[in-house]
Amino acid sequence: MLQGIVVKAAGGFFTVRDDIGKEFVCRARGVLKRGQATLIIGDRVYFSAVEDTSSRAPEGIIEKVLPRKNSLYRPPIANVDQLAIIMSLKSPPCDWQLVSRLLVLAEKEDLSAFICLNKSDLVKEKDITKINELLQPYPYSVLFTSALKGEGIDLFRDKLAGRSSVLAGPSGVGKSSMLNALQPGLSLQTGTVSDKIKRGKHTTRQAELLALNFGGLVADTPGFTRLDFSGIEPAELSAYFPEYEPFEGQCGFRDCVHLTEPECAVRDEVGRAINKMRYEHYKYFMEELNKQEAY
């Protein structure tokens, strides 16, 4: 049997890329269906090749799905190395609360993450200075890029090389444009931002793993604007804010959740070692989680 990775799933067919880059259109073996195994992109599988014909693409039968190291629910994708959060500086403006929400998701799934702020060509230097001030300090790497001008693309390439990455962010921020600038042969569809609602139109219809010619895989996902925190308890949330870790055990109360308790080491560091905006997001998320728990 051959081994490969599922790079596309549609209508009961799965495109599997083997270890040398050849792609096979596969169906799942009946035993997998009877076991109600759900195949998603990123799954590593064993498959048998069906004899090639000159009139159609190579075909195969998926025999076994290998254990996943992780998986995401939205978009459904397995065996991810990192989350690349793509936002735009303008048209639409960056949604920093959504950035923090996505970073919580990354931490929960034990993924590394970085932020890419696209459309730097639409803002002035003083605007970027203000953003840098807003992000002091910040626990994640932030890149400023312009898909249109090619600025920061080399840094973006270095972040993706040799890894399995998911690009996440709302529609209209330039995820597909960034990939086209990175590797023009991908020819992904791009869209414009509505003047009326100030949001982009969805141009990516389904998640698909794309092979990068410098090594690595990347999923350009359908845009979305909200994620809930199902599966996270209020007491867990602070563990998904890595900037709190140095102060673990230093609060006056062992079960401190860093909201109103006296002698809170985390609150004492807000505006110093802990970013003010990030802490406001933390409080908002805690309120959301407490409301969920009450129902």
Using the predicted structure, report yes or no on whether residue 192 has a pLDDT greater than 90.
no
Using the predicted structure, report yes or no on whether residue 201 has a pLDDT greater than 90.
no
Using the predicted structure, report yes or no on whether residue 86 has a pLDDT greater than 80.
yes
Between 190 and 217, name the one with better pLDDT.
217
DSSP string, 102-152: HHHHHHHTT-EEEEEEE-GGGS-HHHHHHHHHHTSS-SSEEEE-BTTTTBT
Q: What is the pLDDT of residue 286?
A: 97
Using the predicted structure, report yes or no on whether residue 186 has a pLDDT greater than 60.
yes
- CA 79 vs. chain centroid, Å, equals 12
Instruction: Locate 248 and state its tokens.
Output: 């673990």
Q: What is the pLDDT of residue 36?
A: 54
Q: What is the pLDDT of residue 270?
A: 98
Using the predicted structure, report yes or no on whether residue 199 has a pLDDT greater than 50.
no
In 3-state terms the chain splits into helix, strand, coil percentages (rounded to 5) of 30, 25, 45
Q: Residue 205 — pLDDT band, cuts 50, 70, 90?
A: low
Q: Which of 5, 11, 62 is nearest to 32 (CA)?
A: 62
**Tens digits of per-residue pLDDT, 164-177?**
999 988 889 998 89
Contact 254/237 with Cβ under 8 angstroms? no
DSSP string, 20-67: TS-EEEEEE-HHHHHTT----BT-EEEEEEEPP-TTS--EEEEEEEPP
Neighbouring residues of 288: CB distance < 8 A, sequence distance ≥ 6 = 229
Give the residue-averaged pLDDT of 68-76.
82
**Tens digits of per-residue pLDDT, 238-259?**
999 999 999 999 999 999 999 9
Contact 238/230 with Cβ under 8 angstroms? no
Instruction: Locate 284 and state its tokens.
Output: 């908002």
Instruction: Locate 238 and state its tokens.
Output: 């602070």
Helix axis angle, 175-182 relative to 153-160, nearest 10°? Answer: 90
Using the predicted structure, report yes or no on whether residue 280 has a pLDDT greater than 70.
yes
Using the predicted structure, report yes or no on whether residue 225 has a pLDDT greater than 50.
no
**Letter string b/e over residues 184-221, b meaning 16 or more CB atoms within 10 A of that residue's CB:** eebebebbebeeeeebbeebbeebbbbebeeebbbbbb
Looking only at the bridges linking them, the beta strands covering 112-118 and 141-144 are parallel
Using the predicted structure, report yes or no on whether residue 191 has a pLDDT greater than 60.
no
Between 292 and 284, name the one with better pLDDT.
284
Instruction: Locate 187 and state its tokens.
Output: 């020819």
Q: Residue 208 — pLDDT band, cuts 50, 70, 90?
A: confident
Between 198 and 250, name the one with better pLDDT.
250
Q: What is the mean pLDDT of the chain?
A: 87
Q: What is the DSSP letter of 285?
A: H
Identify the three-state secondary structure at position 292: helix
Residue 35 carries which side chain, given as an amino acid letter? G
Identify whether 92 is preceded by a cis peptide bond (ω within 30 of 0).
Answer: yes
Using the predicted structure, report yes or no on whether residue 19 has a pLDDT greater than 60.
yes
**Tens digits of per-residue pLDDT, 91-149?**
999 999 999 999 998 999 899 999 999 999 999 999 999 999 999 999 999 999 999 99
Lowest-confidence range among 13-17, 107-111, 195-199, 239-243?
195-199
- CA 127 vs. chain centroid, Å, equals 26
Contact 203/177 with Cβ under 8 angstroms? no
Residue 78 carries which side chain, given as an amino acid letter? A
Q: Residue 44 — pLDDT band, cuts 50, 70, 90?
A: very high
- Rounded-to-integer distance, Cα 161 and Cα 165, Å: 9
Between 228 and 178, name the one with better pLDDT.
178
